Amino acid sequence: MAEGTRFSQLSEVVTQLKNENTEMKEAQTRQQTLLEELVKQMKERRDRGLCYYCDDKWALGHRCRTPNLFLLEGLEAETEEDIFEDVSEEPAMREEQNTDQE
């Protein structure tokens, strides 16, 4: 009976790994498709002489009518040291502000 239980557990693990592998392949395929579509769109804009960010013709010195704001957010996890460093710097900054106001 113990062998049957082990076999069923192993079978479940193998099935789970296959499902995860399939999901990873599907995600990679979606990413590749998206990248190919973006490259195609960029090429079309380049061929038509358009700016990448607006629909105006691009020329040397071109500036978009509406400015774009891009935000890059890091995925780096904050360590405990970083948290304590931030807290220890705050009182010094407050003291500087108080002396500047006097």
H or E, element range at 11: helix 2-48
The DSSP output letter for 61 is T
**pLDDT at site 10:** 79
pLDDT at 43: 95
Specify the amino acid at residue 14: V
Mean pLDDT by 10 residues, the chain (102 residues): 73 82 86 92 94 91 89 78 60 58 54
Q: Which residues fall within 8 angstroms of residue 62, CB to CB, at 6 or more apart?
A: 51, 56
Q: What are the boundaries of each domain within the chain?
A: 2-61+72-101
Q: 45: burial class by Cβ within 10 Å (0-12, 13-18, 19+)?
A: middle
Q: What is the pLDDT of residue 67?
A: 86
Q: pTM for this one?
A: 0.44
Distance, in Å, from the CA atom of 55 to the CA atom of 62, rounded to the nearest integer, reads 12
